Amino acid sequence: MTIKEDLALPVGTTLDRFIMRKQEDFPFATGELSQLLRDIALAAKIVNRAINHAGLTDIGGAYGKQNVQGEDQQKLDVVANIRFIRALRNGGEVAAIISEEEEGIIQTGNMKGKYIVAIDPLDGSSNIDVNVSIGTIFSIYRRTSELGTEGNLEDCLQKGTEQVAAGYIIYGSSTMLVYTTGNGVNGFTYESSLGEFFLSHPNITIPKKGEIYSVNEGSFNHFPEGVQQYIELCRVRNYSARYIGSLVADFHRNLMKGGIYLYPITQKSPLGKLRLLYECNALAFIVEQAGGKASDGQRRILEIEPYELHQRCQLYIGSTDMVEEVETLLVARGVPSRHSLA
């Protein structure tokens, strides 16, 4: 191929163009949700730039404070939180935001905004300093309160089934934005020289069964008996153990190749560790749209009724056959409660 022929090749479909074409698929399609997704993409580009410069500027490492979860914040946690909140506030479509990094509801001042966003601005941030893939996770809900008022707690505590869109950005060897609006899952890869996300993974589907299991086996002795039995089965079957410690990265790999991610309850985390509103709901919506399954061992994640902003739960997510096998073993062994682990 000549240079002239190479330069003449089409570069593909941009995220903006894809959103515009698919706008009729969005519930209540009037353009606001399309703009909201663009706002998220813009913030992702800014955060991606900050991450890529983390080793060259004084932006890596610990921030010196803890977030509402009691976890040590990294500097980039704070940067990402500010960038996404600013983009969503300035975009004008969001009435209120809830963030894993903030204790309460963040009012945007956009009282005519039709949407509520739940976001984990930087998942896996403890891996920043060792150059491991990290990510952003977001959920979008249509507000239930009256337009012209501030977003309230009821707006934020909606079940996952009420999401109108959800997605994640993975910052790795390439930066990708993957999202769904309830009509399948599509992935876009960032082309930094052009400053655009391009459709690279259309209509993503997860294999019904995989051969990868992702779990922190260092906590094996503290897992429920049914989970221990499942891990032993994975070992006997010579499944590949792959655990990065970045939820987005582990989930993304399994979504593409087939597999299961497990984060059970333990004595240390008797309610589970992952956050229902900021992590589990979004990924559950995505995996179901891709043909997979997400469960807390007994219930469909999307049907869990939230009762507080920072609610935690256990998570089994990925290929349908693998999740269902874990559920069967947990039921057979008796799904433990927080009291039985104490």
Q: Copy the structure tokens of residue 123.
A: 């998942």
Report whether 263 belongs to an annotated binding site: yes
Average pLDDT over residues 97-101: 96
Look at residue 70 in the predicted model and tell me its pLDDT: 53
Average pLDDT over residues 300-313: 97
Average pLDDT over residues 290-300: 97
List phi, psi (to 5°) of 198.
-115, 140
267/215 Cα distance (integer angstroms): 16
Query: Is there a contact between 317 and 261 (Cβ–Cβ < 8 Å)?
Result: yes
Look at residue 56 in the predicted model and tell me its pLDDT: 43
Report whether 278 belongs to an annotated binding site: no
Q: DSSP strand E in the chain: where?
A: 62-66, 72-74, 94-99, 106-107, 115-123, 134-142, 163-171, 175-180, 185-191, 196-201, 212-214, 240-241, 260-263, 274-275, 293-295, 312-313, 315-318
Look at residue 52 in the predicted model and tell me its pLDDT: 84
Report whether 100 belongs to an annotated binding site: yes
Report whether 159 belongs to an annotated binding site: no
What is the average pLDDT score of the chain?
A: 89
Look at residue 127 in the predicted model and tell me its pLDDT: 79
Q: How confident is the model at residue 44 (pLDDT cuts 50, 70, 90)?
A: very high
Predicted TM-score of the model (pTM) = 0.90
36/29 Cα distance (integer angstroms): 12
Average pLDDT over residues 203-218: 97
Report whether 190 belongs to an annotated binding site: no
Report whether 216 belongs to an annotated binding site: yes
Average pLDDT over residues 312-333: 95
41/17 Cα distance (integer angstroms): 13
Q: pLDDT tens digits for 151-187?
A: 999 999 999 999 999 999 999 889 999 999 999 999 9
List phi, psi (to 5°) of 28.
55, 45
Strand, coil or helix: 60:
coil
- Listed in sequence order, the residues at least 6 apart from 101 whose beta carbon sits closer than 8 Å to its beta carbon are 67, 68, 73, 77, 78, 81, 121
Look at residue 11 in the predicted model and tell me its pLDDT: 66
List phi, psi (to 5°) of 249.
-65, -45
Look at residue 94 in the predicted model and tell me its pLDDT: 97
Average pLDDT over residues 213-241: 97
CA of residue 300 relative to chain centroid, distance? 17
Q: What share of the chain is helix, strand, coil (3-state, %, to 5)?
A: 35, 25, 40
Task: Set out the domains of the chain in order of their start, with CATH numbers.
Answer: 10-201 (3.30.540.10), 212-333 (3.40.190.80)
Residues of the chain with pLDDT > 90: what percent? 75
Strand, coil or helix: 107:
strand
Report whether 245 belongs to an annotated binding site: no
Report whether 302 belongs to an annotated binding site: no
CA angle 117, 272, 79 (to 5 degrees): 40
Helices (H), 25-160: 32-52, 75-91, 153-156
Average pLDDT over residues 233-243: 98
Q: pLDDT tens digits for 6-26?
A: 544 456 899 999 988 877 665
Average pLDDT over residues 83-108: 96
Look at residue 51 in the predicted model and tell me its pLDDT: 86
Asked if residue 341 has pLDDT above 50, the reply is no
| First vs last C-alpha separation in the chain | 66
- Listed in sequence order, the residues at least 6 apart from 269 whose beta carbon sits closer than 8 Å to its beta carbon are 312
Report whether 273 belongs to an annotated binding site: yes
Report whether 120 belongs to an annotated binding site: yes
Look at residue 125 in the predicted model and tell me its pLDDT: 74
Look at residue 126 in the predicted model and tell me its pLDDT: 75
Beta-bridge mates of residue 294: 317
